[in-house]
Each structure stands twice: as C-alpha cells, then as structure tokens.
Structure 1
Amino acid sequence: MVHGVPGVKLEKIQPITLTPAEEFAALENDELLIALAERVEAGELLTGKDAKYFNRNMNRYDELAEKLGLVDDIDDEDEYDEEEYVDPLESLGGDEWSDLMDKDK
C-alpha cells in the first residue's frame, strides 16, 4: 500500500538490458554524443561534464565496435605491420653512412 492508496503495490523496476548491437546503435544515434564529437573534430577541448560524457561513451563505443568485430586489426597508433616494416636507413651500407656523415661537415 502506498501512502494510504489501497491496491497500489510498488515493484522494483528491472533495468532494460540491451544487446551489444542495440547499445552500439544507440550510441551511434546519440545526438549529444554526435554534437560533442563534432566539437572535438573542430579542435575544441571539452571540459567538465561534456568531457566525461564524451570519454565514457566513446570508450564504450570502441569496446562494442571491437566486440562486434567492426574494427580493423590494426591499431590507430600502429598503422603498419612491424614484421613487414623496413627501416629505409637499414638499407644504407657502411660506405653510404660515411658519405652522409661527411656531407654534414
């Protein structure tokens, strides 16, 4: 009974559980997140609640994208395969190094 109202019973509300795909779609359509992303892309530095909201949701977006297989295997920071990468300076022989060093003098 709720404060004298007969027949009214309070029940605990169960949280709505979204699938990863549904949560991902919700983030993609989040108007506030989209607006904040546009501000960041324009070079604006977010602060306070905006920064917290943006960072939390973008991190979750990245987690879901990875979980759903929507990201490349290559990290943004590491855009090349280290095993295939050849340092152009390694191809220079000992004499060529000497020649380059002498030119600087």
Structure 2
Amino acid sequence: MSGLRLEFVQAGYGYLTVCFEGPEDDFRGPYGAIIRLPRNMCDELWTRYADSQATIEDWAYRGVAHRADQAHTASRTQRRGYTLDNIWWLINDTTH
C-alpha cells in the first residue's frame, strides 16, 4: 500500500469505520473511510470486490484497504476538507 498506517477499526450497524494516518511525509491526516459491509457472499457489494471463492480477507483487502489506498492517492491533489471531528473522510458509503 502507499504507507497508510492503521489507527483504528470499528464495525457496527452494517458499516466498517477505518481511520488511518498517511505516510510519514503526509501531514494532512488523519484520514477515514466508512465502508458498507456486505450482508453475505451473494450480496452485490461482495461480488463487486471479490468472487464466490474469495475469503473475508480477500474482500477486506479489495473492498476496504485497496479502496482506501486509491482514495488517499487521489486526494494528493485535493485540498484537505476540515470536519468537526478533524478526520478527512475519503470514503463515505453512508451517502450512497
């Protein structure tokens, strides 16, 4: 990955909340992602990131870690958006 350092993970109400710091030279964080969790392996959200033979670890890599890495990479050309909680939410699946 691009040097992201995991700070914490919390699951609840069908979502996974992940917060992380960027690489050592990136002082724009902390960053966050709110990822909707699939209900089962037949869920469209599962099949978007993994096939029927995939493990939970495979899905987590593609559906969470890879998405967060891509969002962080894309953010390098953006101005940091400030929020009351001081976390730059790069992914927020609750708005979809």
Give the helix-richer structure, 1 or 2: 1
TM-score of the superposition, structure 1-length normalised?
A: 0.25
TM-score of the superposition, structure 2-length normalised?
A: 0.27
Q: Which has the higher contact order (CA 8 A, sep 6+)?
A: 2
Give the strand-richer structure, 1 or 2: 2
